[in-house]
Structure 1
């Protein structure tokens, strides 16, 4: 039954469905030998319907989240999970986003089924920076860089100042912002506090990991070097 539980937990079907798949000969090893429920075959050598199994728990994905998608498993409308294989929603442990991007924000979004890794990334102790590209409705006033970096900036309805953030002015209405915390709609609210409005927002980097060549809606599996890069920079 170990093989049945393994494949079912990867989201390929219920245990009953996986038992049927094994009986039908759909689960084999790399040499084409049909496996049984009692087979003790290494994960990396198991094929389901002639395709290698998805990675074991500990999987980390990077996606270029498009505009209009919500970071949820069950909200109305378009969900980021719609862009992944259906079985990924059924994995145990659950595949979760590492932080969120709101519906009107695009860019780099991470997923994992490793709770320890998730909390390591979002922990304040890790001090992982997040880089955002911003387009504004009107020209900046000129004092935003100093204000964002002050460590004294307060957001409406909050009683704790923001951590210092770096603002790089690209031109009058375009900027790059680096945050080391993740409050609700933080970048939008920071510019709103200066009397400006964000018209386009995209996250391009988390730690030392950049969006790279991923197009809208594309995703890729991260290897160990990629995961380590998140904690660099």
Structure 2
């Protein structure tokens, strides 16, 4: 029954639903031979209705998140999971976002069903840089880079100073900010602390990964080379 459990965990239906799929001959190998529930598990060789199976457990996905989508399954509005195949919502273990981007922030978002990988990415020990492009409501005043790099900046209602962050000024109202930690709404709160407001925010990079030519609203599975790049030293 390993094959039944495997397909159910991938979101193809309940175990009862999947058992019917086997009875109807809808599950085959790549050559079209009908498979049975007690056959050996060979994910890459399996087909459902002639189509290869969805990604095997242990996936890592990159999504180019549009503004206006939230990272919560419970939100009543648009959510990032709407941009993925519907079956992905039914996977077990579930597919989760690696950290969150708020509703109004766009850009690089990672998702995985691998709990150990998720915790490795978000762990402070990993110190993965996260790079954001911020468009501001007011002109930069000129001392923001020094304030953010100081390691002494306190956000409102917090008692632990922020780690040093690097600010690259692009023009009067645009800047690229590199963080080495992830606090709640950190970029927006940092600019608020220096008297400014973020009108638009886009995450460009996590670790060594960038979106490349991935269109907005689209996703792709990351392979082993991408995972190495994610954790590669800057």
TM-score normalised to the size of structure 2? 0.98
Structure 1 counterpart of 2:142: 142
CA RMSD of aligned residues (A): 0.7
Alignment of 1:9-28 (within 5 A): 9-28=9-28
- 1:161-182 Cα offsets, whole Å, 9 max, x none, are 0000000000110000000111
Distance 1:26 1:34 in 2: 7
How far apart are the structure 1 equivalents of 2:185 and 2:116? Answer: 25
For residues 48 and 163 of structure 2, the distance between their equivalents in structure 1, rounded to whole angstroms, comes to: 48
Deviation of the 1:47 alpha carbon? 0.5
Q: Residues 62-97 of structure 1, C-alpha deviation per residue, up to 9 Å, x if partnerless?
A: 000001000011211001001101111111111000
CA deviation string 1:120-163 (max 9, x = no partner): 00111111000000100111111000000000000001111000
Q: For the residues of structure 2 that align with 1:24 and 1:204, how far apart are their CA atoms?
A: 47
Match of 1:215 in 2: 215
> Hey, what does 1:178 align to over in structure 2?
178
Q: CA deviation at 1:51?
A: 1.0
Tell me the SS of whatever aligns to 1:107: strand
8 Å Cα contact 2:151/2:161 also seen in 1: yes
Alpha-carbon shift at residue 3 of structure 1 (Å): 0.6
Q: Cα deviations across residues 98-118 of structure 1 (Å, max 9, x unaligned)?
A: 000000000000000000000
Tell me which residue corresponds to 2:62: 62
Unaligned runs of 5+ in 2: none
Q: Which runs of 5+ in 1 are unaligned?
A: none
Runs of 4+ in 1 over 2 A off after TM superposition: none
Structure 1 counterpart SS, 2:117: helix
Structure 1 residue 215: Cα displacement: 1.2
Per-residue deviation, 1:227: 1.1
Find the counterpart in structure 1 of residue 161 from structure 2.
Answer: 161
Task: Count residues with an aligned counterpart.
Answer: 233
Asked if 2 retains the 8 angstrom alpha-carbon contact of 1:29 and 1:41, the reply is: no
Where do residues 19-168 of structure 1 align in structure 2 (5 Å cutoff)?
19-168=19-168
TM-score, normalising length: structure 1: 0.99
CA contact (8 A) 1:12 1:87 kept: yes
